[in-house]
Each structure stands twice: as C-alpha cells, then as structure tokens.
Chains A and B, each alone.
Chain A
Amino acid sequence: MTMNVLELDDTRRQLRDRLRAMPDVGDPRAGVRRMRALLQEMGVQCDDTAELEDADAILLTSGRGMEALIASRLDDDQRHQAYSRIVARLIIGQMHEPIDAKIEYHSKHSTISRQEKEEDAAVAKFATALAEGNLNLAPRPLYEDVPKLTLAFTPRTAALSTLGGMHLWSDYWYRRSTMYRWWRSRRDVSSAIKRVCVILNPRRPAAA
C-alpha cells in the first residue's frame, strides 16, 4: 500500500486555491474553525485532543489517509498557529511514501538534516503569513499559479518569462535562505516586488 502522490499533489493544489479565497480573520477561534474545515474538506482527518506533551501538532500521511493531530493543551492562538503550520507543511513540505510524519513545535527544535531544518524554517514563516492573513508576504508560487520561465522571444512572452524566472528564484530562496525569508516578509519589499510584477504583467498584477 503506497500513498497516492497524485492525491497529495491534488490536495496541495486545492489548498492553494482555497487559501486565496480565505477571508482575513482577526479572531483566532474563527481562524481555527476555518483552517480545520479547510483541512477536513481536503480529506485530512483532524483531531484536536491529542495528548501531546512537547509537540504542538503532528501531520501523518500514508496510504490509509492523512491525519493532523493537534495538542489539546494549546490555547486558541497557539492552535491557530498549529493549524497554519499543518497547512503550510502540506504546501511546502516533502512527504515520503509510504508513510511519513512531520512534527510541529512552536519553537526551534533539533532536526536531523539540513534539508529538514530549511523546510521547518520555511514552513514556520509561511505559517505566520497564513495565520496573519498576509499571503502577499510570501512568494506567490506557494499559493497561486504564476507565469513559467520559458524560452521566449516576443516582447510580450519575454516579459512573462522573466516574471516566471523571478517567481522561480523567489520560491527557491524562500525555501533555503533565512535572510531572503526575512527580506521577503517585509511589507515595503512586498510592495516593490508587486510594482515590478505589474510592469512585467500589466494584465494580471501579481506579487512575486
């Protein structure tokens, strides 16, 4: 029995689509309800009553399905953050077949590999943007379809291809560089990138 990769990709794609339409919430309790409903709609079984001592949440995936276990000791704010991390993990994280588990902690925690450390840091940053309802503080490829980098020759397609290259570059460094994540989550940087995107793709203004 193996986890269906296509199914996970589909979940990821649907999550990205739904995140864009998700209203900005001030109340963490409402945020928890929305995130939970979103995950359950994607087929992720959620359990808020896990007796976790140190970890805030666990995401478990296998051929039997996907489960999100959230620690019962968390308050509304922490639970909202934990759910955001689960959503961010599903979008950014690499889940291995046939079974994989990701453990979410509220603070930095020892990880085995450099790759896991980078993934954890990217997930934490993206989760913060999700919880605050500020998706534009993260690279757009994480939550939207963007132009692709292609070999283009006409002035129009060359601009789109350049934009695609920028998106690719942004996504790559967001996953790997602490400095870039810090830089990319600044509002002035986000606004500047948005202006560049408008210049390159005036029909569909987008942030990088």
Chain B
Amino acid sequence: MPERDEVQIARWDAIREQVGDGLRQMRGHGRSQAQLAYEMDELGFHVSQSMVSRYEQGQGEVPLSLERMVGWALCCDALSSGHLREMLELGGYSLPWTIGDMKQFDLLLRKFRSMSRADQMVLRRRMLWHLLGVQPRPLGAARELAL
C-alpha cells in the first residue's frame, strides 16, 4: 500500500462511512455490485467486486478519488443525484458543472442506453473525459501501464 499521511488517513476514516452510504444509494437496487465492477473496469477503473462491496460498507482503506466517484456515478446514471454532490463535498472535490449540466449528462446516458454495449462504452469513456477534462488513453495502453 502506498505511504499516506496520518492526517489523510484520519480524514478518510471520518468520512468513509458516509461516502459508502452515498455509493450504495447511487448504485440502487437495479444494479449488482458485480455489474458495476465490470462496467467500471470497462471504463478503465481497476475496481473489483470485492472493492465495490468494501467501499459501500465504508471499509475501503484507500480514499476514493474524484475520478472513481465520478466513474461510479456515471455507471449508475447518477451524476445529477444529490448523493454524488454530497460525496464530492465530503471529499473536498468540485466539478465545473452545474446541477442542470449533470442532469443533461444523465439524460444523454439514458437516451443512448439502447446502443450496443461496446458503443455505449466508447461514448461513456469520452463523456468521462468531458466530465473530468482528462484525455483518455487507449484501454490496452492503460492496462499495460497498470501492470
């Protein structure tokens, strides 16, 4: 595990249960932890089903990054949900998008849900870039870097 400051650990310990609660609420009942882990993996996040479970129970040891929070919400079509806003606030993060903007992102995700899975993933990866302002790498290259 990478070395982390005590202050950072203490802060994460103080908020991780609330964050876990928000994550669980965003996933809702219609989406399994396995499905979410699979979709996040497709987007380029290295999140396993057990990690999804641990984070939701407030047992994740590593602070959840902004990218993972947004990716989680993107996979759950919950970008405009109050849970994401609360979590971002707890984590001290902010995005340059208004609530109305986030609703439009969710609307777009729902609109193209009838597309094939592969096409949806291409669109979601690019939307993630538009949300975060991070240029995506080809998935293969990203995986090689992670190994």
- Let me know if A24 is at the binding interface, CB within 8 A: no
From A55, A63, A67, B115 is in contact (CB under 8 Å) with A55
Asked if B126 and A67 sit within 8 Å, CB to CB, the answer is yes
Q: Which residues of B contact A99 (CB under 8 A)?
A: 101, 104-105, 108, 127, 130
- Let me know if B30 is at the binding interface, CB within 8 A: no
CB closest residue in chain A, given B118: A53
Not counting A63-B130, A103-B123, a sample of 11 additional A-B residue pairs whose C-beta atoms are within 8 angstroms of each other reads: A51-B122, A55-B115, A55-B116, A96-B104, A97-B104, A98-B98, A98-B100, A99-B101, A99-B108, A100-B104, A112-B111
Given A1-B101, A49-B138, A96-B104, A64 contacting B133 (CB threshold 8 A): yes
Given A64-B130, A112-B111, A101 contacting B123 (CB threshold 8 A): yes
Given A55-B115, A60-B127, A98-B97, A50 contacting B122 (CB threshold 8 A): yes
Q: Which residues of B contact A154 (CB under 8 A)?
A: none
Q: Which residues of A contact B105 (CB under 8 A)?
A: 99
* CA gap between A63 and B96 in the complex, in Å: 10
Q: Which residues of A contact B116 (CB under 8 A)?
A: 53-55
Q: Which residues of A contact B133 (CB under 8 A)?
A: 64
Q: Which residues of A contact B122 (CB under 8 A)?
A: 50-52, 58, 69
Chain B interface size, as a band, is 20 to 34
Asked if B130 and A55 sit within 8 Å, CB to CB, the answer is no
* CA gap between A122 and B143 in the complex, in Å: 41
- Interface residues in B85-110 (C-beta closer than 8 Å to A): 96-98, 100-101, 104-105, 108
Chain A, interface SS category: loop
Given A1-B96, A53-B116, A100-B108, A58 contacting B126 (CB threshold 8 A): yes
- Report the minimum CB–CB distance from A79 to chain B (whole Å): 16
Task: Jot down 13 A-B pairs with beta carbons below 8 A, ordered by A.
Answer: A49-B138, A52-B118, A54-B116, A55-B119, A58-B123, A98-B97, A98-B100, A98-B101, A99-B108, A99-B127, A101-B108, A101-B112, A110-B114
Asked if A53 and B119 sit within 8 Å, CB to CB, the answer is yes
